[in-house]
Amino acid sequence: MVQKSSSITIREVAEQAGVSVATVSRYINKTAAVSGETAARINDVVSSLNYVPHAAARNLATNKTKSVGLLLANNSYSDYFTPILRGIEEVVTGEYHYNLLIASRRPNTQDKEVPPLGHYNTDGLLVFVDSMSLAELEALAENNFPMVLMHHLSPPHLSIPSIMVENRKSFQELVEHLIIVHERKRIVFVTGPDGWQDAIEREAGYHAALEAHQIPYRPELIIPGKFRREISYLSMLEFIVSGVEFDAVAAANDESASGVLEALRRSGKRIPEDVALLGFDDKSYIAEYMTPKLTTVHAPTVEVGRAAARQLIKLVNEGQADLNTLLPTHVIIRQSCGCR
């Protein structure tokens, strides 16, 4: 019979790891250095027992730390995340006067080390995209720890509140603008990161636009971008060399669109005369300063941060929050699609 993590004590972890309770406490709370070998033993035991430190140990008087955490993966996209953080700070520190603890972790370390933020140092947690594994989310949810996911839907069996922007409908509308107004039919799609909900929904919008206008799907028109300018630039150069005919590019975000633009220009393509170009996010430092200016979808990134923070504070204080919040987006028509 598997023990529930809520019934496992720090003393049991210490006994199985062959260390003192104080050592386990120092490691989990990050209050002092622990040797690599000892840390590895503790991690192994924590993982095998599915141990989650109990929130009551944080503060015996109030059971509150007045702190909330923000957990990122090291591969989170800093330019994209900056306005989200601004929205979070406005609410957490400005409106509610909570402390905001921010931590990141290396990719592929989930389930291999104790998360830097959790029950043991916060009252609740904002989780950005892929910074926690399913097993870690399950362990925290089992203990009813307040969490809100950003740009990531909750696994159905966990019912964790989430904040998303509307992706599919707006991206479909964007691609259909190319098809209907500018009569483009051979449209390249530059993908986002594997497994990211935003990227999945935007690709679904691309497919829906093609299907709505009876344009056959051609897998050779799908190239990787991963929301990165440099990756999109190299992918586009390689695609152009392949000789596949195309007359438009729909990039999954503005960063990718900027890389595509550079590759097109380097290859002697005119935008939009030869190739129309689309993005997503409406990042002003890209969309407004590109030549031609970028046709894109405006995503309310600051409001993502505000909404996530408000839902988390509500969950911490009231024990409930809206399950799924979908923030509206809208198409911004500029010149890169062929409009004047």
Digit-coded pLDDT (tens) for 206-255:
999 999 999 999 999 999 999 999 999 999 999 999 999 999 999 999 99
Residue 109's pLDDT is 54
Residue 60 has pLDDT above 50, yes or no: no
177 or 80, greater pLDDT: 177
Digit-coded pLDDT (tens) for 130-176:
788 888 899 888 889 999 999 999 988 999 999 999 999 999 999 99
Residue 6 has pLDDT above 70, yes or no: no
Residue 110 has pLDDT above 60, yes or no: no
CA dist list (Å): 16 to 2, 44, 271: 16, 10, 64
235 or 129, greater pLDDT: 235
The pTM score is 0.80
Name the residue type at position 140: L
Q: Phi and psi (nearest 5°) for 150? A: -115, 130
251 token code pair: 């990039």
